[in-house]
Amino acid sequence: MTDQKLPTDPTLDEIRAALAPLIARNAAFDGWSYAAVDSAAVELEIEPDVAALAFNGNAMRMVDAWIDSIDQELARRLTASRLNALKIRDRITILLATRLEIMNPDREALRRAMAIMAMPQNIVRGTKVGWRSADRMWRMAGDTASDFNHYTKRATLSAVYGSTISVFVNDESPDFIDTRAFLDRRIENVMQFEKVKAQARARKEYAPSLSRFIGRLRYPA
């Protein structure tokens, strides 16, 4: 992952963004803790007290910043021109596969992050973080839906991403073959679901309307 460079007079948000990938590297050994923040601060030559203030010892805040940095790296790697040349299924597949590649060096940190997000006090925020990533991926894929379909797409992708991550963190197969096969199966499920939804909308569009029928009886053309 490309480490973010700090401007001359950084804000706390900019400090969090720059530290997040480095904290993840250290979290594999130190957990999502002050120790991981201190190590990242030393590497970036940031005052430890300032780095500590950026996260205030909140592990979920550290995880949130890291996942946000993954979203940003994903956008850097997969430009609109590259994605637009692909079919929608291939766009979603490459988005998720590339995301796994970005997280691969920090799988132990990811495993610990999942445990933190599963804590009762973090479930709501963890769900919002996952939704944010799903929304960003759909937008990168070119989705512009603003109706109910907007929400179902993101809910479905969140579920696919979450289940794939659960396989990924424990996958010891060469080049993550098992995870890639699992991902392919889940994406096929999503495409079938989208197909069924499209067919249902088409049937609804051409279904007889009782209100229109009554209206015509009352107000004939």
> Which amino acid is it at 2?
T
Q: What is the pTM of this model?
A: 0.84
Q: DSSP string covering 17-52, please?
A: HHHHHHHHHHHHHH-SSHHHHHHHHHHHT--HHHHH
Reading the block at residue 119, the tokens are: 């804590």
CA distance 77 to 62: 23
Integer Cα distance of 83 and 98 in angstroms = 12
15, containing H or E segment: helix 12-30
Q: 103-129 pLDDT, tens per residue?
A: 999 999 999 999 999 999 999 999 999
pLDDT tens per residue across span 38-84: 999 999 999 999 999 999 889 999 999 999 999 999 999 999 999 99
Tens-place pLDDT, residues 13-28: 999 999 999 999 999 9
